[in-house]
Amino acid sequence: MVKELTMLRWAVLAGFVAIGMAASAQTTSLKDAYQGCFLVGAALNVSEFTGQKNGALITSQFNSISPENVLKWEIVHPKPDTYDFSLADKYVEFGLKNHMEVVGHNLVWHSQTPKWVFEDEKGDPVTREVLLRRMRDHIHTVVGRYKGKIKEWDVVNEALDEDGTMRMSPWRKIIGPDYIQYAYQYAHEADPKAQLNYNDYNLENEAKRGGALKLIELAKKRGVPIQAVGLQDHFDMEWAPVSQLSDTISAFAKLGVKVMITELDVDVLPKATKQQTSDVSVNVAADPKLNPYTNGLPDEIQQQLATRYADLFSTYAKHCGEVTRVTFWGVTDADSWKNGWPIKGRTNYPLLFDRDAKPKPAFEAVIQAAPKNK
Ligand code: GLA
């Protein structure tokens, strides 16, 4: 009898614990779990910030947003005398209405920038003076429009090569290495209160990180207003190792800049390139061997992804305060760019929410990795 009663008590207690856990999993959000540590954001596509898709999920989970494409040069400034802010305005409005930190991405990049920017009417390269003037007009018009609304800007995106030297982009070729300095100066003039970021991928690798550290040190010496570095963190299951990630965050924090994780996702598919890269111009031929999970992600890989995400968030949380924002590049697996890059038409699973916008085991693992849940 006593034994039966004890067992009954255990069963009741286990029931309460199970109900409690289910409730906490449902009610806990990413933004609340990491409150006091860093903001948690997501990059949104048009159907998301116009309220057609994932609206409740986005507003309940995230307190910061980034625009997947609508603030890129080719969209806001497609022709020399044409600016088109119709989508960008809606993006900013969505963020402000929902009291989110609105990020601007990006101003000066070699990709998704129309050719006319670098050419004259004959198709020849423009002079340094002309390109600087075009850069200034663009930055003043775009940053000026959202002054006080967009709180931080990725001003220069991906200026470095893998060896840490400057990428020979049209910006670098035509203007010279000081194009970076001018870009930050113009952005600062247009909105002196906005936080200005330098954003790049593979900064966890020593050579490229060295280049970025130099770039920021030099900027500080010259009084160029760069206040934060953005680690894109397009990762896979092994790369970047968390020790390398942690060292990278510390190295930038030591220079006195904030560290933002700006484009996080974890690729679970077999590697399609020899080198670790997130260069959007890479295009690899389709091969069924490189697309093994078209009918769903096996449980084993699902669990490995959860562990990988727990390790990443434990590392970010170790740097609370140095890391001030962690943004996922997308909301659900259905919309991730990783389904189309570097091979078109694959089925990838890089985010915390599945194709039906339901939380994956990786979501719960991220919640559990928060300092307050440990
Ligand atoms: C880079 C850019 C982003 C986006 C991703 C891929 O990381 O910074 O704007 O284009 O590639 O979608």
pLDDT digits (tens, 9 = 90+) for 85-115: 999 999 999 999 999 999 999 999 999 999 9
Distance, in Å, from the CA atom of 71 to the CA atom of 148, rounded to the nearest integer, reads 16
Model confidence over 230-244: pLDDT tens digits?
A: 999 999 999 999 999
CA 38, 42, 48, 49: dihedral to nearest 10 degrees?
50
Phi first, then psi: give them for residue 260, nearest 5 degrees: -120, 140
The whole-angstrom separation of Cα 187 and Cα 228 is: 14
What tokens were used for 11? Answer: 């069963």
Q: Per the structure block, which two tokens stand in for 221?
A: 């010496």
* Beta-ladder partners of 84: none
What residues contact 271, with CB distance under 8 A and at least 6 apart? 236
Out of 48, 68, 101, 263, the active site residue is: 263
Least Cα distance to 149 among 197, 190, 199, 113 occurs for 190
- Match 């092994």 to its residue by tokens: 238
- In the prediction, which pLDDT does 41 show? 98
CA of 263, closest atom in ligand 1: 7
Output the residue whose Cα is nearest ligand 1's atom 12. 337
Within 6 Å (CB) of ligand 1, which residues are found? 105, 157, 201, 232, 263, 278, 280, 337
Tell the CATH topology of 30-269+289-373: TIM Barrel (3.20.20)
3-state secondary structure of 267: strand
Provide the residue ranges of all domains of the chain, joining segments of one domain with +: 30-269+289-373
Gap between the Cα atoms of 78 and 274, Å rounded? 34
CA distances to 8, 21, 28, 301 from 14, rounded to whole Å, are 10, 10, 21, 29
**Confidence (pLDDT) at 11:** 47
Q: Which residues pair with 198 in a beta bridge?
A: 156, 229
Q: Is 263 a catalytic residue?
A: yes
> Crossing angle for the helix pair 128-145 and 179-190, nearest 10 degrees?
30
The pLDDT value given to residue 20: 40
What is the Å distance from ligand 1's center to 6 Cα? Answer: 58
Catalytic residue list contains 238: no
Given this model, what pLDDT does residue 27 score? 52
Q: What is the pTM of this model?
A: 0.93
89 sits in which H/E element:
helix 86-97
CB-based burial of residue 115 (10 Å sphere; 0-12 exposed, 13-18 middle, 19+ buried)? exposed
Per-block average pLDDT, block size 10, for the chain (374 residues)?
Answer: 47 43 61 97 98 97 98 98 98 98 98 98 97 98 98 98 98 98 98 98 98 97 97 98 98 98 98 90 92 97 98 98 98 98 97 98 97 88
Kindly state the tokens that stand for 320.
């609370």
The number of the ligand 1 atom at minimal distance from the alpha carbon of 158 is 8
Half-sphere exposure of 202 (CA within 13 A, CB side): 17
Find the catalytic residue in 158, 189, 206, 364.
Answer: 158
CA atoms within 13 A on the CB side of 321: 4
At 261, give phi and psi (nearest 5°).
-95, 110
Rounded CA gap, 364 and 359, in Å? 8
Residue 21: the pLDDT is 46
Phi-psi category of 273—alpha, beta or left, where left has phi over 0 and alpha has psi -120 to 50? beta
